[in-house]
A and B are shown apart, each in its own frame.
Chain A
Amino acid sequence: MLSSIIFLPLVAAALLAVLRVPDRVARWTWVAVTTADLVLVGVLIARYETPTDGGLAFEERARWIPSVNSSWHVGVDGLSVPLLALTAVVFCACAVYGLREDRRPRQHAALFLALQTTCLGLFAAQDLIVFFLFFDLSIVGMYAAIAGWGHGREAGRSALQFFLYTFLGSLALLLGFIGLYLAADPHTFDIPELIAAAPLQDHPVAGGFVLAALLVGLAVKTPTIPFHTWLPPAHTDASAIGSAVLAAVLLKMGTYGFVRIAMPALPDAWRGAAWVVLAVGIASVLYGALVALAQTDVKRMIAYTSINHMGYVVLAVGAAGLAGTGTAARELAVTGAVTQMVSHGLLTGALFLLAGVLHDRTGSYAMRDYGGLARTAPLWTGLFAVAAFGSLGIPAFSGFIAEFQVFAGSIGTTAWAAIALPGILITAALFLRALQLLGTGLPGGRSIGFSDVRAVEAVPVTGLLLLSLAIGVLPWLLLDLITPASAVLVDLVGR
């Protein structure tokens, strides 16, 4: 079941790459395949039952590279199911949005289908080599997406910077993986085995180095400051779909790595580094928010808010490593972190798709070029307002659920986490300022003659926002999945 979910898009991608089908067929094939995959993920969630022993569900294992004890091992738990679902949802939304793509649509669809496989595979991977493989392939895929379908004169350069930077990060990650492999006895790349063994538990120095390698690798991908500078140019020059996938799914690979590998496999080292992680999280929250506030380009602004939003995740996982504090608070922080990954995916995905509409109509992201869009494009403004409010953490949307848990849990663990609180205030200021500059007043500049969102643009955005609303109003739909897994994780980190 799980392997077919992972490889269905890849098979479709291969077919699209080989068969010279008409553009229209290619676009609709993309939509059909992502929808089918979404349905499959829905079935998987419907049939998912939290494993009683803290283990995995839908586990599959096949021989792969026996010489280094690496196998095709996939499986899901409460940390990965939400992200699998997010991936399927975001790619499906992008496929619908992509119905208007007129630049090499067949190759475009094939590329994004292949990219979907790498994302699904990564979130299901239970073997470090499998994880690494998908991690690197996602970088290659996104490079192609930015370089091939990006806009802006510097797309190639931004793509190259993205590729080199995140690829370097992945090498650090590989170093860490090899460290874990060598430390385990017998040597293995299998994640559950590594977690059970916690091989570097009594080796503070080696454990510290291995964790440092993992942290750098994951921090580049997340990204946290000071490793974030590849993100704004990559977003500015990527297409709307590329940006949405990059922000909504690819960034989660970094934070997912924290909860899947770094925390449970190196509990001792994680507790030792918790204060550093916490500090980086707080700094990312505040720095991302402040720099976003100063942006004049709406897409760059959204990109910087991603750094802020991912900062909440880092803050929470850092707090979860602080020993000697209440378990309930740390579990809440971890649950909040995973909720935030999903929430950020939905809301920022929607925001990037909406930003893409601006570029599509006028070629400009500069906020000063607009004004009064509420009159010329009321639906766009309404959707942007909802997405902005959701993203700034207004209740009834998923962002509030995530941020409340992150803050209550983290502050419940250490009062220092309260330093990050102004982040939600600055985020509110910058989103409302953007809304004011773009939407209100009398139409002027490029707003005149601006045509409102079309169905293929409105439907995916509305879908993402409705999901965020559902999580915001009935959070237990999601939290019932996550909570048992975060309890297991906090238990593992506390070893």
Chain B
Amino acid sequence: MTGLLWACATVPAVVGAGLCVSGRRADRAAPTVGIVTAGVVLALSVAVALGRPATSAPFLPGAPFGLAVDALAAVVLPAVAAVTLLVLVFSAADVSGARARFTGLVLLFAAAVVITVCATTLPTLLFAWEVMGATSYALIGFRWQEPHRVGAGLTAFLTTRTADLGLYLAAGAALAGGAGLALADLPGLPAPWRDVAAAGLLVAALGKAAQLPFSAWLSAAMQGPSPVSALLHSAAMVAMGGYLLLRVSPLLGATSWAGPTAAWVGALTALLLGAVALAQRDLKQLLAASTAAQLGFVVLGAGVAAVAGGTAHLVAHAATKALLFLAAGAWLTALGTKQLPALRGAARRWPLVGVCAGVGALALAGVAPLSLWATKDAVLAGAHEESLALYLVGLAAAALSAGYAGKVLWLVWQRLPADAEAGYDTEEEGTRQVRVLQQAPLVVLAAGAAVLGLLALPPVAGTLRRALDGSGPAPGLVELVVSAVVGLAVLLLVRVRPLQPLPGWLEGWLGLARATDVVVVRPVLRTAEALARFDDRVLARAVTGAGRGALRTAGAAARFDDAVLDRAVAGSATASVRLADATVRADLAGPDAAVRSLAAGTRWLGGWARRTQTGQLHQYYVSAAVVLAAALALLLAVR
């Protein structure tokens, strides 16, 4: 059984990577290969959902690559796999050009989602989480020939990665707290680290789920092909944000603040993005805002520990929103537009698409007994238990969903205007046909959107709640009736009194994108440019300056050498010569003369001495007598 789990993750990864690498050569085979692979993944995911295996492989020191299918994963995994398969079936007829790359990326993405759903450790989760982000970048920017689409992918990737930093932080906190990197161990962390870990996971999840204040990336992401939106922005990537919070709901509950924070962020996102959706004039933008709003209910559910309700809402929303995105995609391909005014009466051109989209819109509106009606109330029951204000905000958000769903529903089912063609082909050349492969998935998804509410209704709801260890309350009859009435009433109200144009800041997604630009993007770019200038003009120049200084010092030393030392040496040589001359002169004048005069004196004395040598005896006698007399006199004098 663990082998099946590994296969569930690796088969789409390997096939997807293979398709991406083989490029255009595989374009013809790609749709079939993709559908078969997705079918295999669906079968495998059902198998592991029933078998509930857990496995791990060596990965990082102290943190294995852990995968496990628990009750939560067992519910979500088949749903994601099914949507992936249906989206690939739809794409086989919808996406043209570079099909191998498209299918490959979708399969890689699907593999990342499977791992995200089954991850038991933080590194495993982060691994899949970031691959999801990267493949979503590549899928949103699928048509790279148009730079603004790649730019939208960049926005999406960077926004979600900003939030992902929370996961790195959580991993550090888990290590600092000494609990290890298993997700299940996080609630046992000691106090400050538990809060840091909870905060990190919360931020990461809010980013992926396009909750406030991160919602703007989802608007940009609508530049991607419609099937991409159907998969990423309904069942998988965005939903994974909500899923993560459901998974770590015990950690949120272990802190005093994380649960309420998540609940309020979810409720406010549901409310505000519901209003944003109501203001949109572009169908895909409306659906995107609605996605963020509906994920708000999931986040709210995780915050108030209504895990079963949140899970049911997640799955039901996945089917509903994938359906609506695919319908929007079918119309976009056929009619070349996604502008709501131009789509007037579009449902009547292809009734099957119209009926399916109608079911989806009614489900989104919360009309009983369709799916989102019951699932949403399962969440709101939990909110009601937590605080009345939270419940009322949630109920208001539910009313808004009925409003924007009704807006779409009534519009596409209006009578086809005579000049309908004038509004078409504004964004691309429409084909004016919806193929069978595009319609079939819609039917399956419509069935899901209709009946998946069973997950939140007895008797399934009780089983699910027990399986998820949830203690959240079941929705009371009153709540169910109230929300059904509110949904229906708003839906009818929108029919009777068409909406007035709403303020521009609502249509502009609360100015979030511009705010991000002003508050984050531009300051960072400015800082980067300033630092680059600093690097070039100050740091690098300081070094070359130091080098130049060294050269200058060397030059000065050389000059000193030439001007002073060398001259001194040369001077000393001259001086030596001069000294030698002087010495010679002095020598000639001094000692030499003295010696010579001494010699002359001696010679003179010698001359005198020679005079006595006469050779005459009498003179010798006289001199001897004189000397003798003198000696005698000296002797007498001395005595």
Residues of A within 8 A of B (CB): 161, 164-165, 225-226, 228-230, 232-233, 287, 290-291, 293-295, 325-326, 328-329, 331-332, 335, 372, 374-375, 378, 382, 389, 393-396, 400-401, 404-405, 407-413, 415, 417-418, 421-422, 424-426, 428-429, 432-433, 436, 439-442, 475-476, 479, 483
A331 and B61 contact, Cβ closer than 8 Å, known pairs A229-B540, A404-B168, A422-B165: yes
Q: With the chains together, A405 CA to B61 CA distance in Å?
A: 9
Least CB distance, B517 to chain A, in whole angstroms:
13
Residues of chain A within 8 A (CB-CB) of B539 are 225-226, 228-229
**Could you say which of B60, B131, B162, B169 contacts A411, with CB atoms under 8 Å apart?**
B169
Interface-lining segment among B175-183, B398-406, B502-510: B175-183
* Residue ID in chain A nearest B20 by CB atoms: A382
Residues of chain A within 8 A (CB-CB) of B146 are 441
Q: With the chains together, A192 CA to B141 CA distance in Å?
A: 54
Check B528–A425 contact: CB distance below 8 A: no
Check B175–A328 contact: CB distance below 8 A: yes
Residues of chain B within 8 A (CB-CB) of A328 are 62, 175, 178
> Does B336 touch A at the CB level, under 8 Å?
no
- Chain B, interface residues (CB within 8 Å), range: 35 or more
A290 and B528 contact, Cβ closer than 8 Å, known pairs A408-B168, A424-B165: yes
**Could you say which of A233, A412, A425 contacts B176, with CB atoms under 8 Å apart?**
A412
Main secondary structure of the interface of A (DSSP, over half): helix
Least CB distance, B142 to chain A, in whole angstroms:
11
Check B154–A413 contact: CB distance below 8 A: no
* Residue ID in chain B nearest A417 by CB atoms: B172
**Could you say which of A164, A407, A426 contacts B547, with CB atoms under 8 Å apart?**
A164
A389 and B134 contact, Cβ closer than 8 Å, known pairs A293-B524, A432-B157, A479-B61: yes
Least CB distance, B585 to chain A, in whole angstroms:
55
Check B158–A440 contact: CB distance below 8 A: no
Least CB distance, A294 to chain B, in whole angstroms:
4
Least CB distance, B153 to chain A, in whole angstroms:
8
Check A407–B172 contact: CB distance below 8 A: yes
Least CB distance, A119 to chain B, in whole angstroms:
25
**Could you say which of A233, A332, A395, A424 contacts B128, with CB atoms under 8 Å apart?**
A395
Least CB distance, B161 to chain A, in whole angstroms:
6
Ordered by A's residue number, 14 sampled pairs between the chains whose C-beta atoms are within 8 Å are: A233-B540, A287-B535, A290-B532, A326-B175, A394-B131, A395-B128, A404-B123, A411-B169, A415-B172, A415-B196, A421-B169, A426-B524, A436-B151, A441-B145
A404 and B175 contact, Cβ closer than 8 Å, known pairs A287-B531, A378-B23, A425-B165: no
Check B175–A329 contact: CB distance below 8 A: yes
Residues of chain B within 8 A (CB-CB) of A417 are 172
> Does B525 touch A at the CB level, under 8 Å?
yes
> Does B304 touch A at the CB level, under 8 Å?
no
Least CB distance, A283 to chain B, in whole angstroms:
11
Q: A233-B540, A432-B154 are in contact. List 4 more A-B contacts (CB 8 A).
A: A325-B176, A378-B23, A394-B131, A476-B58
**Could you say which of A374, A396, A418 contacts B144, with CB atoms under 8 Å apart?**
A374
Residues of chain B within 8 A (CB-CB) of A404 are 60, 123, 126, 168, 171
**Could you say which of B23, B123, B525, B543 contacts A165, with CB atoms under 8 Å apart?**
B543
Least CB distance, B464 to chain A, in whole angstroms:
32
Check A476–B59 contact: CB distance below 8 A: yes
Residues of chain B within 8 A (CB-CB) of A418 are 168-169, 172
Check A408–B175 contact: CB distance below 8 A: yes
Least CB distance, B429 to chain A, in whole angstroms:
18
> Does B35 touch A at the CB level, under 8 Å?
no
Q: With the chains together, A422 CA to B158 CA distance in Å?
A: 11
Could you mark each residue 491-520 of chain B with 1 if its beta carbon is under 8 Å from any beta carbon of chain A, else 0?
A: 000000000000000000000000000000
Which 5 pairs between the two chains have the least Cβ-Cβ distance? A411-B172, A412-B175, A294-B532, A408-B171, A293-B528
Residues of chain A within 8 A (CB-CB) of B174 are 408, 412
> Does B615 touch A at the CB level, under 8 Å?
no
Check B161–A428 contact: CB distance below 8 A: yes
* Residue ID in chain A nearest B129 by CB atoms: A395
Least CB distance, B470 to chain A, in whole angstroms:
31
Q: With the chains together, A417 CA to B165 CA distance in Å?
A: 13
**Could you say which of B61, B162, B547 contacts A335, with CB atoms under 8 Å apart?**
B61
Check A436–B147 contact: CB distance below 8 A: yes
Residues of chain B within 8 A (CB-CB) of A326 are 175-176, 178
Residues of chain B within 8 A (CB-CB) of A378 are 23
Check A411–B173 contact: CB distance below 8 A: yes
A440 and B141 contact, Cβ closer than 8 Å, known pairs A291-B535, A326-B178, A331-B61: yes
A290 and B524 contact, Cβ closer than 8 Å, known pairs A374-B144, A408-B172, A411-B172: yes
A407 and B61 contact, Cβ closer than 8 Å, known pairs A161-B547, A294-B529: no
Q: With the chains together, A293 CA to B524 CA distance in Å?
A: 9
Least CB distance, B402 to chain A, in whole angstroms:
39
